[in-house]
Amino acid sequence: MEQSQQIELKEVVLKSLTKVRPYLHADGGDIELVKISVDKIVTVKLTGACSDCPHHYQTLAGVEEVIKKNSPEVIKVISIDERKELKDE
């Protein structure tokens, strides 16, 4: 992925996160963009109440839906906690 494409993708992903952020704030949580890999996997970090919520995976699925709607080239959205879990397996 060229640098200009990567910058454009990052801007679109950040705008997508801005759209979902009010819903997370309503429950005492938030979300941060950690990185976008060259293979177009978006890594986010759920914070506040969202970080240890039992509905974490549903929240992440909703975030992924919004991001993919605005950036169909994104392959997957994962949380930083999931990366740790995948690494531990």
What is the distance between the alpha carbons of residues 52 and 10, in angstroms, rounded to a whole number?
26
What domain range includes position 65?
3-88
Q: Provide the residue-wise pLDDT of the chain in tens; the chain has 89 residues.
A: 688 888 899 999 999 999 999 999 999 999 999 999 999 999 999 999 988 888 889 999 999 999 999 999 999 999 987 545 444 44
Task: Give φ, ψ of 69 to 5 degrees.
Answer: -65, -40
Cα 53 to Cα 10, 11, 67, 82: the distances in Å are 26, 27, 21, 14
Hey, is 89 helix, strand or coil? coil
Count of domains for the chain: 1
What is the distance between the alpha carbons of residues 79 and 72, in angstroms, rounded to a whole number?
18
* pTM for the predicted model, two decimal places: 0.85
Beta strands per DSSP E along 8-62: 29-36, 41-48
pLDDT in the model for residue 89: 45
Task: Report the CATH number that the domain containing residue 50 is assigned in CATH.
Answer: 3.30.300.130
Residue with tokens 């938030």: 30
The single-letter DSSP state of residue 37 is: -
